[in-house]
Structure 1
């Protein structure tokens, strides 16, 4: 029998803590959103001095990564490559910094980070995603 991992609040906090550690190491002020396996907000953390707009953007990046089961960078690259139709897809936020969270090959949620340059947001998100992959 296969049991799919479901994120707990403690898991979400551990994911966010790893992401926060990466942000702090680089002195980046970000907001981190973690969604559960249903795509619902489970945990949100806005760092000191993170831009207020990052609250919404982090959640939208996470939601996009969850809905499309891929990093938001791929959608950003598609738009940059001329596939403007991607902009019209419901729930598509084509800005790097959102990642689906996988554990044992199954999607268990998503993380979105906003507050600095998009590649930096993604770097922070990858730190959190690494924790999700190792959850028991």
Structure 2
């Protein structure tokens, strides 16, 4: 009877070791790759350069974790956090930050939601990243210009991933 625990412990350790020695998963299904995230950033940067507005561009993965980021020369320092929050907000609620912002106005069903999740950004500039199969793989957030400029740059980045021309 006194040997039961050590044997059980040894079996547990052997099983645990086999789990940890397994080949790690490179990318989860439905998650953005680094290459895709960088593609989104490059497309967004090109659009920001075209409209001549220095921007901060953040891409988060399917879990809302920062995957890629770029800060253009002369982009506002305060916009770094805003770009990341826009990206996370879009992913957390699976909608653009413009759509969430509309639902969060006084008298609307989500009024006050921006105070949750350690602060959300509920104005335009956060867009979902949807791959060619129609799967949400992350999101992009942009900040540094007007709300409409931010949104146009975020949409340019999102189009690069989806292959859409709209």
Same fold (TM over 0.5): yes
Query: Which sections of structure 2, spanning at least 5 residues, go unmatched?
Result: 1-27
Q: Which residue of 1 aligns with 2:120?
A: 92
Picking from 68, 79, 82, the partner of 1:54 is 79
Residue 93 of structure 1: how far off its partner (Å): 1.8
Distance 2:107 2:45 in 1: 34
| CA RMSD after TM alignment | 1.9
Q: Which residue of 2 aligns with 1:120?
A: 149
- Output the TM-score relative to the length of structure 2: 0.74
**1:40-86 Cα shifts (integer Å, max 9, x gaps):** 10111000000001110000000000000000001221233533233
**1:13-51 Cα shifts (integer Å, max 9, x gaps):** 111110011100000110000011221101110000000
Distance 2:107 2:122 in 1: 12
Query: Which sections of structure 1, spanning at least 5 residues, go unmatched?
Result: none
- Whose strand proportion is higher, 1 or 2? 1
Number of residue pairs the alignment of both structures matches:
133
Q: Mean alpha-carbon deviation: is it higher for 35-44 or for 3-12? A: 3-12
